[in-house]
Structure 1
């Protein structure tokens, strides 16, 4: 029995540990996504990988040293004609075995393509850093939108719970009146039907909430089985409303990324041109050559094997003279890419300006709508309270009461939707200002 109790206690402790909820603020959800979502992780890995790309390009400007060893067997030596003054006829030259061991060094002294490639590699690292920043901003935007969608559904669920509570209270009042003969059975039945419909709508919202929470967990890279909760103050209006001042969109990460891409295309054009420039390199070799009638390794002159050293040092100059015009054609293609990017940059700048103006307009309109819906909620609540009193005193019909309850619930849902529209417009405005990372600092 004691073992059973101990086992049951451990099971309950483990179950309670699994059932603990993880409370997520917007900042915590974004931080979690930036650390765990694959897009953000891969963007950081691209930045790290660019360091190795620089090392790869830099290696082309450093000395290249190679050691090569080989051994050759010549079972049939080639014969050559001997002049008549030396006896004439054919004579074999060389030895059956030959082996060489050579160390070679090559150092680029001037190669414009290599030097330009090094600059391009460093610029590529900067490009990946900006791209990682853009990826983080995209993750922040997606997480914030999904987070507020979940919170909207939770708010609507609370509204339905209040509506169910109110309708249940009204039904109980009608049931008491019916039992005392002061109300009709049809009124009680209509109220019960209305309550059942509200409960059915609530179940649909619960199902939608589960799907939205799972989508949010996937979006931030969290285990689907993790239970999450939200703080009460998430859905509040901030001080961002009624923005009239224009912000400079040139600081947007999208523009910075295009500018850095333009630098890469310019360097690519220089690298292509460099293919037509002369190159100068230092070449050096040092090695040993062994020949003999038997396997030369570990053999001595007494065995018929002879070893000799050799070396060479020189400069190698390569001057491209004619390549069929391929360099010129590639250079013009590179220039076309630069001009296309400039067109993309202008179009993106226009899109950024449009997004800024639209975001400012949308958030101001959303605030006006939000205030209107808030007043509607207060009015609908007063109307419901008055009609409830009138119904109890026989001055209002059940239809009026049910309509007032529906209007109150609709007003609350409209306010929740207006609040969501405001928060989504707020995200778009912060994005247009290039300050999405402020959401992490809140």
Structure 2
């Protein structure tokens, strides 16, 4: 019985390991995993916690402060008796206790503006985090498509190599029968060796692209990492039916980098309000309760006063208002206001520049998509023409009307055309997804 349990346990472990090894990551899974585990994202999330603490500090400025103090001292010789308020030669132990509270009633609205700024800073933190996630999503999508491109390239080269092996066997038979010279066989063998080298290079490129994506996902099991390799085709899209201006108008309304720039401008304006608040007087209220104790305190009849009674007998209360009026502070307030005004101007210019950059990027992406699609269409036509030329060359070579060198050149041109078709295909897909991303279409699906 025990042996059966151990066997079942080992089978279960092996199944789990095999399932992990066979996992194929989709683009959506890659994007979601990267956003959950990326170190930079986690750092920005910690910045959000700091922003929340800053907001709590700003709220705390509206709440009255409450502090307590206590002191105990002992002295010998000529000392001031706190009870009689006269100097005496004695050994004296005394204690004092104080509780104080203060509340700012008016400070030029600086507390109010500090709270609003803290709220804006927290909002900016969210925009900054989401902008980071956008960039990571684009990077992951690009790395994912690069793996797909490398996989297709490898499969094409392997297919070409298989055809070359068939040609090699057929040419051997033709050489043995004296139909074609041995030089033709050597030429095809050279082509076969070149393709073997191309397969090795393609395998290395595929492995490197997998490692690149795995690192973006903080996955270290590179050997077992792989993505879903279903046959991807050009995705349907109507994004080019929109004008660049339409795409920009929508992008500027939701893009996190623009929202961040806009929030930074609002924070600069709040900083200016805070700086201006230093021109105004500050009004605060205070309340204090204090009492004391001395070990030589006595009633008029000479009997000592105990500790508890002294706390009530010698206690006192003070309260009132305190007004601070700024008169001259070495130009510091005025200069701080000037600096804040400059910061507002800089933030305004940065906001306008960010919108111009976005519009420029969208126009460039729009042109890139059109150009990439034309390149892809041209590559398709080239492959079709090269394939027909290759088939024609193959027929001529098989009947001895073309030498092996010219036949190899025809095959090489077809190989290059197919490689360019794959490259242009995924280049177009990525640029298309980037343009769609500007329009608010998510990247997690191809």
Asked if TM exceeds 0.5, the reply is yes
**Cα pair distance change 1:320/1:133, threshold 3 Å:** same
Q: Are the equivalent residues in 2 in contact too, given 1:151–1:235 (CA < 8 A)?
A: no
TM-fit CA distance, 1:15: 8.7
TM-fit CA distance, 1:93: 7.8
**Cα pair distance change 1:427/1:325, threshold 3 Å:** same
1:258-278 Cα distance to aligned partner (Å, 9 max, x none): 110001011111111112211
- Report what 2:26 is aligned to: 25
2:94 equivalent to 1:98 = yes
TM-score (norm 1): 0.88
Q: Secondary structure at the match of 1:228?
A: coil
**Cα pair distance change 1:418/1:94, threshold 3 Å:** farther
Q: How does 1:268-417 map to 2 (within 5 A)?
A: 268-293=271-296, 301=305, 306-307=310-311, 308-417=314-423
Distance in 2 of aligned mates of 1:67 and 1:426: 66
2:66 equivalent to 1:52 = no
Distance in 2 of aligned mates of 1:224 and 1:259: 42
1:274-296 Cα distance to aligned partner (Å, 9 max, x none): 122112222111232111249xx
Q: How does 1:240-251 map to 2 (within 5 A)?
A: 240=238, 242-245=240-243, 246=245, 247=247, 248=249, 249-251=251-253
1:326-381 Cα distance to aligned partner (Å, 9 max, x none): 11001101111111122222222222221121111111121111111112112222
2:142 equivalent to 1:145 = yes
Distance in 2 of aligned mates of 1:195 and 1:421: 29
- Report what 1:86 is aligned to: none
How many residues matched? Answer: 425
1:54-104 Cα distance to aligned partner (Å, 9 max, x none): 112111111211122111122243479xxxxxxxxx953897122112221
2:434 equivalent to 1:438 = no
TM-fit CA distance, 1:41: 2.5
1:232-280 Cα distance to aligned partner (Å, 9 max, x none): 2445343146445122153232222111000101111111111221122
Q: Are the equivalent residues in 2 in contact too, given 1:103–1:285 (CA < 8 A)?
A: yes
Q: Secondary structure at the match of 2:118?
A: helix
TM-fit CA distance, 1:306: 4.2
- Report what 1:119 is aligned to: 116
Q: Are the equivalent residues in 2 in contact too, given 1:109–1:280 (CA < 8 A)?
A: yes
Distance in 2 of aligned mates of 1:242 and 1:91: 95
Q: Are the equivalent residues in 1 in contact too, given 2:76–2:90 (CA < 8 A)?
A: no
Q: Secondary structure at the match of 1:74?
A: strand
Distance in 2 of aligned mates of 1:12 and 1:107: 65
TM-fit CA distance, 1:118: 0.8
Distance in 2 of aligned mates of 1:19 and 1:39: 26
TM-score (norm 2): 0.87
Q: Are the equivalent residues in 2 in contact too, given 1:60–1:114 (CA < 8 A)?
A: yes
Distance in 1 of aligned mates of 2:49 and 2:87: 64
**Unaligned 5+ residue runs, structure 2?**
298-302
TM-fit CA distance, 1:165: 0.9
**Unaligned 5+ residue runs, structure 1?**
81-89
RMSD of aligned residue pairs (Cα, Å): 2.9
Out of 201, 204, 222, which is 1:204 matched to?
201
Q: Are the equivalent residues in 2 in contact too, given 1:63–1:108 (CA < 8 A)?
A: yes
- Report what 2:220 is aligned to: 223
TM-fit CA distance, 1:120: 0.7
